[in-house]
Each structure stands twice: as structure tokens, then as C-alpha cells.
Amino acid sequence: MKKYWQLLLGTALFALTLGWGSAPVVAPAKAKATMKMVTYGQLTNKNPHRLAAVREAARQAILQTTKSKSKRVPAVYQVKLPTHMTKKAGLAEKGLQMPLLKNSFKLSHVTVPYSALTGKIANRYLPKANRTQKINANKMVALTFDDGPDKTLTPRLLKTLKKAHVHATFFEVGQSVKRYPQIARAVLAGGNELANHSWNHPNFGSIGTKKTAQQVLRTNQAIYQATKTLPQYVRPPYGSITAAEGRKLQQPIIRWSVDSRDWAYLNSKKDIKEVMKDTRGGDIILMHDVHKQSVAAVPTIIKRLKAKGYKLVTVSELLNNQALPGLQYFGAHDSRVVGK
Ligand SMILES: [Zn+2]
């Protein structure tokens, strides 16, 4: 049916171009678009982690569609979103149209842009521009910086990254994002990635599931308030999280494979040595942009990693946009189900 209309429309346009017919040519009334419906099982290849990623993308779309203020962030986590593989969504022109049950945002459906679904739903349902491409993660490493934003050090680091044409991922603490929203915005404006590192850096493993969920939600809210986007990832402080907490979080958990131990050294030379000793292709490197020695070490680290042939990328680039909730990632080649 779709092909027939395309053909008809194509012919009509062709006729218009050629100027066929003497009477003004009126384009045929646009056929009522019959949106193709597909099940979430088809979209996700029946992968519940992928479906969780679709739900998280839907939350972002609901907030943006309704131009909601940050105080509505907790409410978006109350909206009932599909958990059954047999339910259906529509492949609309601009995105995946998901029907919604009754909700406080008064939306009958939400359209999630295809650009937010790269790596989350099967390529065959995505426009060409949004499909996952093959990458060689062995030629890439991701620099990540925790505990910011810092008033002076984070802007200094952003300058370094810009000068080197490199993007990194920043796991920021909610209470500091609230204090320095303009720095959080600058992180994103520089093409970097911004993610959640709890509200005030407790040890999730010892505060329990409820408080952990609050820490993550409050930080998502602060990041949304500062940047109008929800962060994709969570990194638990000290890498500490219980299986039960991890299963409850609706975002992928990003760990690391190379610890610079910069917080212990507070010495640029030692930071550089530690990173260069351990880093291989596909690694996620952990540093902190709240220590001046760490920030001072970055230009040399970038130079040496580049000299080894590595491209420095964000976590999303390294994981090819395929990080999913319910899993934790220790590098491009090491993902584990939470709680196993
Ligand atoms: Zn930390």
C-alpha cells in the first residue's frame, strides 16, 4: 500500500516537473497515513533491557514534548510505560509513537525521536541516518571525570579538551550541578557527555535501595533543571552498588576498566604513568576533575594516548550507543548483568 502511494505521488511530482496537462495540476489529497504498527518484541528482539532503554527514552520525550519544568521529573517516573513485548507502537515519520495509559501529563501518546533510539531498537526499524554502524572500539578509549562540576577546574579541563578536539564523559554530583548549572551546560555545549554520579556521593552499597533511588532521581532532576535533558548513565560512587539497587535503577551503570588512582596520588606524573601503564583499546579511564593535579595531567595523557593511535571518545561512542539499563559496563568488551 505504501509503495503504491509513493509511486502515485512520485508520478504526480514527475508530471508536475514536466508540466503535463494544461490545467493547474492539483496534488492528490494526501493519503491518510497508515502508520505501521510493530510490537515491542519486534522492536527490541524481545530483549527486556532494550525495552527498559525505550522506556527511559520515552521519559525524556514526555518531558520535552510537554516542555515540563524540572519539578515534573519525579512524575515522569510514575507514568506507566510498556513492559510487555506483545504491546504495539507505531513507526511514525518523526519517531516511535508510543500509546500511553492515563497519565498526569495528559498525553495519549508520545513520539520518541529515532535519534534517541539508536542502538536501543533493531536497526531495521530505524531510518538509515539513525542506525548503529560498525565501529572498532579497539582503537578507542573513553576518558571519564567524576565528582564535578568544580568551579575552576572543570572549565579549565573543558578548555584542554576543546583545544585537543577530544570529548569526554563527566559523571557529576547532583548538589554541585545545582550549584554550578552553567558549568554543567558548558560540559554539554562542548560536545561532551554528562551523567549521574549521585546527589552527594554516599556509598550506595550501604544506604539501601530507597535512598539510592532518591539519590539518582534527585540528580537526574538537577541535571534536567540545568540542561533540559535527563542523563543517560549512572556511575555509583566508589563503584559500589548492590544487585537489588542496580536492578531498580532505570539507567545503564557505567564503571571503569582503568583507575588512574589520581585521588590517591594527587601527583600529575604518577597519574600519567598509571594511565599509560594500564590503558588498552576499549578501556574506560577513571579520573576526577576536582583535583588540580589530575586536570594538569590531562594534556599529556591525551597526547600520549593519541600517539598510541587511540581515538578519545565519549562513553556513548565507545559503547556504540548500545548501553542498556540493567547492565553495567566496565569497557567496550565487558558488560555484565547487574546482580550476577
Ligand atoms: Zn566519585
Across 100-109, average pLDDT: 98
How far, in Å, are 45, 213, 232, 253 from residue 48 at the CA level? Answer: 9, 20, 17, 16
Cα radius of gyration (the chain): 23
Task: Measure 64 CA to ligand 1 centroid, in angstroms.
Answer: 29
Task: Measure 174 CA to ligand 1 centroid, in angstroms.
Answer: 12
Task: Measure 237 CA to ligand 1 centroid, in angstroms.
Answer: 5
Helix/strand/coil (H/E/C) assignment for every residue in 1-38: CHHHHHHHHHHHHHHHHHCCCCCCCCCCCCCCCCCEEE
What is the overall mean pLDDT for the chain?
Answer: 92
Across 5-31, average pLDDT: 45
Which residues keep their CB under 5 angstroms from ion ligand 1?
146-147, 237
Task: Measure 80 CA to ligand 1 centroid, in angstroms.
Answer: 32
Q: What is the pLDDT of residues 142-188, one digit of tens each?
A: 999 999 999 999 999 999 999 999 999 999 999 999 999 999 999 99
Per-residue pLDDT band for 14 (boundaries 50, 70, 90) equals very low
* Percent of the chain whose pLDDT exceeds 90: 87
Give backbone dihedrals phi and psi of 204, rounded to 5 degrees, phi first.
-55, -40
| pLDDT score recorded for residue 340 | 58
| pLDDT score recorded for residue 33 | 64
Which residues sit opposite 327 in a β-bridge?
337
| pLDDT score recorded for residue 281 | 98
Asked whether residue 267 carries a pLDDT value surpassing 70, the answer given is yes
Task: Measure 172 CA to ligand 1 centroid, in angstroms.
Answer: 8
| pLDDT score recorded for residue 32 | 55
Q: What count of residues does the chain have?
A: 340
Across 226-242, average pLDDT: 96
The catalytic residues are 146, 288
How far, in Å, are 87, 111, 278, 311 from residue 220 at the CA level? Answer: 28, 21, 32, 29
Task: Measure 289 CA to ligand 1 centroid, in angstroms.
Answer: 10
Residue whose C-alpha is closest to residue 275's, from 284, 285, 266: 285
DSSP state of 101: -
Q: What is the pLDDT of residues 282-330, one digit of tens each?
A: 999 999 999 999 999 999 999 999 999 999 999 999 999 999 999 999 9
Task: Measure 325 CA to ligand 1 centroid, in angstroms.
Answer: 20
Q: Which long-range contacts (CB under 8 A, 24 or more apart) does 11-19 make?
A: none
Q: In this structure, are residues 294 and 221 in contact, taking their beta carbons and an 8 Å threshold? A: no
Asked whether residue 235 carries a pLDDT value surpassing 80, the answer given is yes
Task: Measure 108 CA to ligand 1 centroid, in angstroms.
Answer: 40
Residue whose C-alpha is closest to residue 333's, from 276, 284, 287: 284
Task: Measure 75 CA to ligand 1 centroid, in angstroms.
Answer: 28
End-to-end CA separation in angstroms for the chain: 48
Per-residue pLDDT band for 247 (boundaries 50, 70, 90) equals confident
